[in-house]
Amino acid sequence: MSVLAVPVRRFPHGSDLPLPAYATASSAGIDLLAAVAATVVLEPAARATIPTGIAIALPGGHEAQVRPRSGLAAKHGVTVLNSPGTIDADYRGEIAVILVNLGDAPFRIERGMRIAQMVVAPVDTINWQEVESLPDTARAAGGFGSTGTSGIETRLQGG
């Protein structure tokens, strides 16, 4: 496993919060914390942009993806609205998380609460090569739902 050095800047409204950290030694995502001054109540069907109090400087060739926390989604119906949200290597502003409450009860976002997770990954830059046709595959142009929904059905189709 490699370790990537990423500069991080704390904003005054997040200076007393711990830096984002991995929950376990094998976690892929770093937990992002809510740097709210006061409790935010997210009503059902409402959304809010929640500050984290930090900005980062990713090395070129990397991105950070902001993803939902499964526990918030399963227990409360709270998720990241633009999931995954992409943080580009050249962005230097504060990381904020757009949360939406898809549950049926108000949800309280408290200061320091773990609200999302961030995964840093390498990205490739592409160079388009325009062609007249693409190589054939078994799926071809089959789109939404073309591979079925049943694992048995997929195996019988050879996919």
Q: For 136-155, what is the mean pLDDT?
A: 72
- List domains and CATH numbers for the chain: 8-126 (2.70.40.10)
Please say whether the beta carbons of 27 and 70 come within 8 A. Answer: no
HSE value, Cβ hemisphere, 13 Å, CA-based, for 57:
5
- Supply the pLDDT for residue 133: 93
- Asked whether residue 47 carries a pLDDT value surpassing 60, the answer given is yes
- Supply the pLDDT for residue 130: 97
- Supply the pLDDT for residue 41: 98
CA-based torsion, 125, 120, 81, 36: positive or negative: negative
Q: Which of 98, 120, 124, 144 is nearest to 27 (CA)?
A: 120
- Asked whether residue 159 carries a pLDDT value surpassing 70, the answer given is no
pTM score of the predicted model: 0.85
